[in-house]
Structure 1
């Protein structure tokens, strides 16, 4: 009987504490008993919602040239770091398939002329022979006219090939004005010219090198105007618009810089939003910001909101490391959990967003807590949810 009665008793309360110095917390089947030190009133604080933007500085105007077909580099007319004007010659290349194509066409035409199988020539010969004496014009001369026409066709075909060569180099960068300007001479050598004025920032080729379709040739940059491109979840699109101010910093520099949202490009397939930020050219940025510098910025949106100030010990299930350095705000939305006590004295594990860290007070601003709640500082087991809090 004693054993049966013992088995029917409810489980004994467990005692725990957040640290060795904290008073114990007693957790039973339906309640959690804790000292007043674990309970914190809501302390509201106003804040401006914002989004973090991260990217690398790059020139707005740039041209990346790649081979649109197989080529051989005959001559390189520029060096890395050199400034060139628009239309300046950059490279002389040769299209590997051009001569073969012309030879094939010429060979076919020669064969047709030799064998006399050109239907149009036969037709023209018949027409001419019907108008003049059959013995006055040899058959070779009668075929000569269409052959001459065919020769013109061959020249026209060569012109078409030359026209096709105008796309020997392609520009990948949307901001570049034109595709590469090219000109072909009688030897099928092609001069690739600069589509923009700028500096040769990268040169990927060597003289006599064989280039395959899609290979990089060179990269031109005009760094007089700069930008960076940030990537956000596509859900952020309603919060942004062209013209919004962006404040940003770069690693290793204490200066703060300003930019403006210049373009938004949403990609529904990847569920991402590309945010183009134009760097404002002023005394702060001129001569300091350079291409390839990594920057971190923020753009404000919406109306002022109210959050809650809490100590670190109340925030659970999140890594707060990235908030320990400027700008003390997460680059992307940072979610966590906080134990709160509702008006019915029941515990709830409340999802919250961590907004920022204040290094002077060593406290955090979070969003998602209402004023009719109390904050529990203890890190309780998950089964504490729904239990009644008893203050002792």
Structure 2
């Protein structure tokens, strides 16, 4: 007890002077805390020590990193449209007699959509019906009763909404990573969905782009027609499984050293269109602080953690809020 009493007038500092392995560094930091545990007025937040060019950290703010496997992915977006649709016209000129449906109506295959009168020199004029080619929804009616239309003029547009899709335009450099049947995850109004790539084409106007068609199936409690026209952002997995680091949200910063905002992460699948730049404070093997750049891949809302890339598994990090001037400062633990 005498030793502790003498030390209370001049609190000891553990200065880490030589390289250690991660375990040694943790042990050194812990010993520093144990030696000085008798003092009751230890600062709970880091204090820059200008005199000795160091910074003091609380032991609870230093942690080892937790590695986590993840599947690389890239984002692509589009607007939800029907997987199948048809613009109906006639092979001959005709006058529309009567229209039996309205835009938004659900129809079944072979339902009569409109009647029309044709004029053929070889036969008397007769009233004929235009039928629905499949089950679906009337999207647009171009025709008007008592109007004459030339052959091949669009009269009715019908959507098959039993399946929906969106088409995304991507760089042709991604062609090798896209395969028919690949799964795509995306969110609509905060609700997670899964789709599947059904078709990949080279863009006719720009060969540097490809068109990826993603078939989506509405959730049981969703009405397909309510999803039409919605803008979605999806992610497709590619490449091999990689390893990242799970970091508490409070330990990941933007360029201004503010805690990183959740913009782009707050809705499923909780991934930005592309990895976002961020920063993490790392305690290096020489026991100096490093404001290290990382790529932020995704957010886990249940644990309030970011998955980041750019930190090795033997790293120590700090969750303390530090000024930018703390970079390259020697770490001291009380």
The TM tier, using the shorter chain, reads 0.5 to 0.7
With normalisation by structure 1, the TM-score equals 0.52
SS in 1 for 2:250: helix
- Provide Cα deviations, 1:140-192, integer angstroms capped at 9, x if missing partner: xxxxxxxxxxxxxxxxxxxxxxxxxxxxxxxxxxxxxxxxxxx7645999999
Matched, 1:391 2:332: yes
Higher helix content, 1 or 2? 1
SS in 1 for 2:225: coil
- Provide Cα deviations, 1:64-111, integer angstroms capped at 9, x if missing partner: 4699xxx99754534122636579774759xxxxxxxxxxxxxxxxxx
With normalisation by structure 2, the TM-score equals 0.60
The offset of 1:57, in angstroms, is 4.6
Matched, 1:312 2:249: yes
Within 1, Cα distance between the matches of 2:246 and 2:289? 22
Within 1, Cα distance between the matches of 2:126 and 2:321? 75
CA pair 210-305 structure 1, distance change in 2 beyond 3 A? same
Spell out the pairing of 1:1-392 with structure 2 (5 A cutoff). Answer: 22-26=45-49, 31-37=53-59, 38-51=61-74, 55=78, 57-64=80-87, 74-80=96-102, 81=105, 83=107, 85=109, 90=114, 185=120, 196-198=133-135, 199-207=137-145, 217-224=155-162, 226-231=163-168, 233-234=170-171, 236-246=174-184, 250-251=188-189, 258-267=194-203, 269=206, 273-279=210-216, 288-293=222-227, 294=230, 298-317=235-254, 318-327=260-269, 329-339=270-280, 340-344=282-286, 345=288, 347-359=290-302, 361-380=303-322, 385=327, 387-392=328-333
Q: Is the 8 A contact 1:231 1:272 kept in 2?
A: no
Unaligned runs of 5+ in 1: 1-19, 94-182
The offset of 1:262, in angstroms, is 0.5
CA pair 390-188 structure 1, distance change in 2 beyond 3 A? farther
CA pair 61-271 structure 1, distance change in 2 beyond 3 A? same
CA pair 384-272 structure 1, distance change in 2 beyond 3 A? farther
Higher strand content, 1 or 2? 2
Q: Is the 8 A contact 1:78 1:90 kept in 2?
A: yes
The offset of 1:220, in angstroms, is 0.7
Unaligned runs of 5+ in 2: 1-42, 255-259
Aligned length: 270
The offset of 1:352, in angstroms, is 1.5
Match of 1:144 in 2: none
- Provide Cα deviations, 1:347-392, integer angstroms capped at 9, x if missing partner: 2431312322141x3222222212243324355555655x343324
CA pair 89-193 structure 1, distance change in 2 beyond 3 A? same
The offset of 1:314, in angstroms, is 1.7
Larger Rg: 1
The offset of 1:346, in angstroms, is 5.5
